[in-house]
Amino acid sequence: MKNLNVSMPLYYQIVSDIKAKIEEGILAPGDKLPTENTLSRTYQVSRVTVRNALNALVETKLVERQPNRGYFVAKLRESVTSHKGFSLYDDLVAAGYTPGSKILSMTTESCGSRLASIFGCDPEDLVIVIHRIRLADQVPFAEEVNYLPSWIFEGINPWEMETKSLIEIMETQFGVKIAYSMQTLKAKVPTKEQKEILNLTSNAPHLSIRSKVYDKSGKVVKYTKVFFRTDIVEYSFVWTV
C-alpha cells in the first residue's frame, strides 16, 4: 500500500512512481505491470485514475499496451550502434529511428582556458554554443551541447539541425573534412535541468559522452557533451582495427 499526496494529481504521482521504477531498473524492459485492480489497491485510488496514469505512460512510450495481455515496460528497440562515433543522426537512421532535434539556444561566448586547450586557440577566441534536445521517434532521449569554432562555422543556422545531421552541415556547407572522433564515456547522475528536459523523475545515473571530432588536418572542429537516457535508447559502439 502506497500513500499519495492529496495536494498533487493522483494519476501524476502514479506515473512518476512507475517512471522512477523503470529508470532505476526495478522494472526492466519487457516486465509486465501489475493489473489495474492491483495498482488500484496499491495506490488506494480508483481504476479510472489508474487507467489515466497507464495511458499517460503509454503516451511517453515507456509502457506498451498489449491487447488481452495488459501493460508492459517498453522493450528497447534496435540498439543504436556507432561505427564512426561522430554522427548520432546517421546512427539513429541506421537503427530504424526517425531522428529529430529541438533547439533550445544558440549563443557565442569566449573559449576560456578549457575550450582553448581543446581547439588549440586563444581563450579570448569565440565559440558557437548550440544547446538542443535529441529525439528518437519524437521522444526526447538526450540533452546535447555542441561547441563549434566561430572562425570556421560563422553563419551556421542551428534550425537546420532539427532535420539534418550537424556533421552533414559541417561537411557540405563549410567544407570541413571529418577524419575521426575521440569519446569519453561515464555514468552520470542527471542535473535538475536535465531531469526537466528529459522528463526524468529519479536520480538514477545515465550515460554521459564527451566527444572531440577531428578534421583531416588533425584539428578539433567540434566538441560535444551529450547526456543519454539509457532507458529509452540503447547505445553501443563498434571499434575496428
Q: Between 47-59 and 36-43, two packed helices, what is the crossing angle to 10 degrees? A: 110
* Residues 35, 46: Cα–Cα separation, whole Å: 13
The verdict on 93 and 30 lying in the same domain is no
The last residue of one of the domains, among 73, 96, 127, is: 73
- Identify the sign of the CA torsion 204, 102, 105, 183: positive
The number of beta carbons lying within 10 Å of the beta carbon of residue 148 is 26
- Three-state DSSP state, 196: helix
The verdict on 164 and 65 lying in the same domain is no
**HSE value, Cβ hemisphere, 13 Å, CA-based, for 153:** 26
Q: Identify the pLDDT of residue 79.
A: 45
What is the b/e burial string over 59-79, where b = at least 16 CB atoms within 10 angstroms of the residue's CB?
Answer: eeebbbeeeeeebbbbeebee
Q: Is the pLDDT of residue 84 over 80?
A: no
What global pTM score does this model have? 0.66
Task: Please give the residue that has the higher pLDDT: either 160 or 56.
Answer: 160
* Residues 108, 110: Cα–Cα separation, whole Å: 7
Q: Identify the pLDDT of residue 2.
A: 62
Q: What number is the average pLDDT over the span 125-153? A: 93
Per DSSP, helices labelled H in 63-138 are 88-94, 112-119
Banded pLDDT at 91 (limits 50, 70, 90): low
Query: Any idea what the Cα angle at residue 229 is, between residues 224 and 235, rounded to 5°?
Result: 70
On average, the pLDDT of the chain sits at 85
Q: Is the pLDDT of residue 94 over 70?
A: no
Q: Identify the pLDDT of residue 62.
A: 82
Burial of 80 (C-beta count, 10 Å sphere; 0-12/13-18/19+): buried
Q: What number is the average pLDDT over the span 104-115? A: 96
Q: What number is the average pLDDT over the span 60-89? A: 69
Q: Identify the pLDDT of residue 85.
A: 47
Residue 175 lies in a domain: yes
- Three-state DSSP state, 114: helix
Residue 195 lies in a domain: yes
Q: What number is the average pLDDT over the span 121-148? A: 93
Burial of 157 (C-beta count, 10 Å sphere; 0-12/13-18/19+): exposed
Amino acid at site 11: Y
The verdict on 94 and 212 lying in the same domain is yes
Locus of grid cell 523503470: 22
Q: What number is the average pLDDT over the span 172-192? A: 91
pLDDT digits (tens, 9 = 90+) for 1-24: 466 665 678 888 898 889 888 877
Residue 105 lies in a domain: yes
The verdict on 129 and 204 lying in the same domain is yes
Q: Identify the pLDDT of residue 233.
A: 66
Residue 4 lies in a domain: no
Q: Identify the pLDDT of residue 83.
A: 43
pLDDT digits (tens, 9 = 90+) for 26-70: 888 889 999 999 999 999 889 999 999 998 888 877 888 888 899
Contact between 203 and 189 under an 8 Å Cβ cutoff? The reply is yes
Contact between 228 and 237 under an 8 Å Cβ cutoff? The reply is no
CATH code: domain of residue 192: 3.40.1410.10
Burial of 1 (C-beta count, 10 Å sphere; 0-12/13-18/19+): exposed
